[in-house]
Amino acid sequence: MAHGNRIGVVLAMSWALADFGPSSAAAQVVNRYRVHWRPPSTLEVTATVRADDGWLRMSTTRPLDLPAIEKAGWPALVRLGRVRDATGRALAATPSGDSGWQLAPRPDGAVSLHYELDLGAAQAAGWPAPRELAWGDDALQTVVARALFVSGTAPSASRVTVSVPPGWQVVAPWTRAATGAFRVPTTLDLTENLLAFARTAPTRVRAGGLEVAVVAAGHWRPVVADVRALLAPGIARSAAMWARAQGAYLVVLLPTLERGGEAYRASFAMTVDSAPTLATRARWGHTLLHEIGHYWNGSRVAGADYASSQWFQEGFTDYVASLAMLEGGQQDDAGWRDELQRYIARYERLATPLGQPGTRKGPPLYSGGALLALTWDVRIRSVTQGRARLADALHQLWRDTDAGRRPWNWPDLRAALASTAALDFDGDYARYVMGRAPLPIDDVLRHLGLGAERDSTGHVTRVVPLEGVHPAVRLVPPTR
């Protein structure tokens, strides 16, 4: 999900999960935001929010690239003006670290406030953290909603209207009401997203239940038709592996030369380290599908413990993206074997158990998780003679967690896996996730009719078809 330098993950996730709670009465509360963009770098907001507990909050998840935000959080970019409650009484708003402001006295009814978000420092610094903060040029401006929305009582719906100068349009990951206002079901949908202002209409893709808008800048523009051609089947196949999605989604493709992606609840921002071309399509295509895969795995289905579930959140998202590319014919057999080799080579560098990564997650963890997903997919298909596969367990997990409203623990995932085949998933979990036993790579490859070539030190240098070995398991039907 994140490859950027940031903090506040644990806090943000626990707040995120609280937002899914069964507070249906509170969910009826409707906050109202009127956002006005004054180019180049000021966003003016007038809002009416419920802040019954006496707090105005901002997300504590943030990039560390701007000193002001690193120290004081998003409130450092906000100039908060007058705050009044429903009786018209002026309230004092006292900054409280990186999390927001405490109001005094405690408000009576909804609070009205006015504030400005100033992106000038980020612009002056050349848009550091383009995926996690903001980015802009003459034709596109993006901003993370974490920086833009001061919120009140957590589980509430919002109506958001956004005005931009003539010649610009708003592109948001929310559906519009007939009035033109965006309808945002929860605070999480409000703040854990991106917002864009564009000179030209976004490229639209409809797939898997999502209405996707793609905004692209710089070196992405020449390949935007290829992005569209890749996203349509890729999203449909990802949805088939998890569940049908619903609503608007925003894809932001930025020209900063740096490899990374940051996924939000219904949006992601992505950058690559060299201009995207058809020759490199399998690589950036995989990242596109990885980031959108967090719509299901990460933004909705999420482990109860963040750090110890990243092998699943990142690794299984990598595997689903690989399989979607393979099934869609956007990755060929030779490219898939090379990708397997890269997964194996990165997994060889894993220094901790998959389930105990400490504070770091990186390519070895992602790749180990992806190879465990492959291992289970191959074994499930093998023992059921192709009647079941890993996707059946993902469907089950989606249902069992109520579409991600309830976080999963290992017994939930084990039950979902066990619904597909009678295999020793507890043993695998003890060996490969909590322990450091190496995954049975050679056995898994042999089932696929493949073998690993190793150098003198034992590192896998190539994955090759095994001569004369009929694959016992085919991930993709051979008829395509």
In the complex, which residues of this chain contact Zn ion (CB under 5 A)? 1, 314
Nearer to Zn ion, 76 or 266 (CB): 266
CA torsion sign for 53, 56, 61, 67 is negative
* Choice between 314 and 339, CB closer to Zn ion: 314
* Beta carbon nearer to Zn ion, 4 or 136: 4
For the bound state, the minimum distance from the C-beta of residue 262 to Zn ion, rounded and expressed in Å, comes to 9
Q: Which is nearer to Zn ion, 1 or 188 (CB)?
A: 1
CB of 310 to Zn ion, least distance (A): 9
SS3 382: helix
Give the nearest distance from C-beta 297 to Zn ion in angstroms. Answer: 9
Q: What is the DSSP string of 235-265?
A: HHHHHHHS----EEEEEEE---SS-EEEE-S
CA 87, 89, 90 angle in degrees (round to 5)?
145
Q: State the residue number with the nearest CB to Zn ion.
A: 1
Selection from 155, 154, 130, 153 nearest residue 143 by Cα: 130
Which CB sits closer to Zn ion, 136 or 173? 173
Which residues have a Cβ under 8 Å from the Cβ of 188 and sit 6 or more positions away?
Answer: 16, 19, 20, 265
Between 208 and 369, name the residue whose CB sits nearer to Zn ion.
369
**Helix locations, 73-217, DSSP H:** 120-124, 145-148, 187-191
Distance CA 408, CA 394 (A): 12
Nearest distance from residue 371's CB to Zn ion, in Å? 16
Reading the block at residue 257, the tokens are 């030369």
| 179: number of Cβ within 10 Å | 9
Q: Please state the closest distance from residue 236 (CB atom) to Zn ion, in A.
A: 20
Q: State in angstroms the smallest separation of the CB of 361 from Zn ion.
A: 9
CA angle, corner 343, sides to 233 and 478, nearest 5?
45
Closest to Zn ion by CB, 1 vs 371, is 1
Q: Which is nearer to Zn ion, 112 or 310 (CB)?
A: 310
Q: Compare residues 74 and 268 and give the one whose CB is closer to Zn ion.
A: 268
Least CB distance from residue 314 to Zn ion, whole Å? 5
Q: Is residue 267 within 8 Å of 173, Cβ to Cβ?
A: yes
**Per-residue CA distances from 277 to 203, 268, 334, 445 (Å):** 18, 20, 19, 30
Token duo for residue 151: 């919120």
| Residue 168 · residue 199 · CB < 8 Å | yes
> Are the CB atoms for 164 and 42 separated by under 8 Å?
no
Partner residues linked to 203 by β-bridges: 214
Q: What is 333-345 written as a DSSP string?
A: HHHHHHHHHHHHH
How far apart, in whole angstroms, are the C-alpha atoms of residue 239 and residue 149?
30
**Least Å from the CB of residue 317 to Zn ion:** 6
In whole angstroms, how close is the CB of 463 to Zn ion at the nearest point? 23
Query: Smallest gap, in angstroms, from Cβ of residue 91 to Zn ion?
Result: 40
Nearer to Zn ion, 1 or 444 (CB): 1
